[in-house]
Structure 1
């Protein structure tokens, strides 16, 4: 344990050397181009998957299941962690990043099919996912393997989070909501670690997405077809 701490601080020395000058230009304010809402899974590198862009470009938020909502006394709303950059830093693009083999989606799927118990904080997060996935689970083929079910639900979950953003009056109209699945299980292609475009502002049609982003045609593929 002590060696891990030492190694982290040695790594921070490299960070200081590599990024200190970049940070000097950001001391007064931030205006990130993109907000990413990603699963907190350690295998999903929010900055790394975009080639380690310099500080100031990406406002990152992560949680289990890449959720955009939270429950409050007044009801379920888009989470403040998500809203902040959209409302206060001028960020107009939000990427919801799901990933293949998601443990949170797996837990929600198992809960909806077999039941689930865990510590209250974890249960709270899984229940939020259940709200979004229940209808989809009911429509899955009865003989589908769990692995395949989960990967379809990962995509469906991204769709639902995009829907919440597009439907919320709290999200500025100028914001574009983009849905992505990060693939390190070779589900979408053999480009391990590739990000695949599955949704833009609720548009899920492969041909329509390819027409909008022709240069990304090889990265546009859906498992869940409505």
Structure 2
């Protein structure tokens, strides 16, 4: 905690003055273009990963980068998605999974989750990802972790489409969905390519943005 406190002091002394005009503008409102849904894992920093500034991303985080299917029961994720899409008018929604995901390890081997019943219940939203991988390989083992991570991103994208605000904007082609997987060790991102039905490198997916 000491380092966190020192960090806030350093931000006030150095970080804030360097972006004083930006924060002055943000003090009156926000207009992010991207809703970024990712895992609560401490190793993931959306702004660092995307090299973005405060105000660029509307960020939602939880264990397993889960988007529960829409229901009449109000939840934090449902309300946040609705606000980002219907009020803020984001144009892009990214669901970003990551390598070595503890939540996906729990999907593969749920035997250790009895002591954390709320986590176990929450990961029920990811169960289909494990079932899909199990059906493909005939079994579900730790070696299949990367496949489960990718399948989970796709499953959460499906859940996202059930939310009325998202479905409405999709029908009007006002919002675009993106499935990503961040590789912590390599510092790289894979993107789901619908025509190829597979995850490909960010560079392959967006060659027009490569530095020349």
Structure 1 and Structure 2 fold alike (TM over 0.5): yes
Change (3 A) 1:139 1:207: closer
Q: Once superposed, what is the RMSD of the aligned Cα atoms?
A: 3.2
Residue 169 of structure 2 corresponds to residue 175 of structure 1: no
What does 1:58-207 align with in structure 2 at a 5 Å threshold? 58-69=57-68, 74=73, 79-111=78-110, 114=111, 116-130=113-127, 132-142=128-138, 146=142, 148-171=143-166, 172-173=169-170, 174-185=174-185, 192-199=186-193, 205-206=197-198
Which whole-Å deviations, capped at 9, do the CAs of 1:123-165 have from their partners, x for residues lacking one? 23222222x324214314257751x311111000011111122
Runs of at least 4 residues off by over 4 Å? 70-78, 142-145, 206-210
Q: Which residue of 2 aligns with 1:189?
A: none
Does structure 2 conserve the Cα–Cα contact (< 8 Å) formed by 1:34 and 1:93? yes
Which whole-Å deviations, capped at 9, do the CAs of 1:81-118 have from their partners, x for residues lacking one? 2221111101010000000111111111111xx56313
SS at match of 2:95: strand
Distance across 2 between alignment mates of 1:23 and 1:170: 29
Does structure 2 conserve the Cα–Cα contact (< 8 Å) formed by 1:180 and 1:197? yes
Which whole-Å deviations, capped at 9, do the CAs of 1:24-73 have from their partners, x for residues lacking one? 1122221101110011111111110011x122111111111001126866
SS at match of 1:133: helix
Distance across 1 between alignment mates of 2:207 and 2:181: 17
SS at match of 2:59: strand
> How many residues align structurally?
203
Q: Which residue of 2 aligns with 1:215?
A: 207
TM-score under structure 1 normalisation?
A: 0.76
* Runs of at least 5 residues in structure 1 that lack an aligned partner in the other structure: 186-191, 219-226
Shift of 1:204: 5.3
